[in-house]
Amino acid sequence: MNTLTAPVSAAHLNYLLRIADSSLILGHRLSEWCGHGPVIEEDIALTNVALDLIGQ
């Protein structure tokens, strides 16, 4: 039983780390648009989405 759970949990951990890295990078890239939005509401919305992605 232990030999089966170790590779599965390692695969899950690897998957979760990739998802977390993707969210962090997307959040940073989206935060580069902070202050450059065409309308203040869109600028604030982009900033909030970026913060949500970084916070994940």
pLDDT digits (tens, 9 = 90+) for 18-52: 888 898 999 999 988 888 878 888 889 989 999 99
pLDDT confidence tier of residue 1, bands split at 50, 70 and 90: low
Torsion region of 35: left, alpha or beta (phi above 0 gives left; psi -120 to 50 gives alpha): left
Residue with tokens 């998802």: 19
Residue in the structure block whose two tokens are 């899950």: 12
Whole-number pLDDT of residue 50:
92
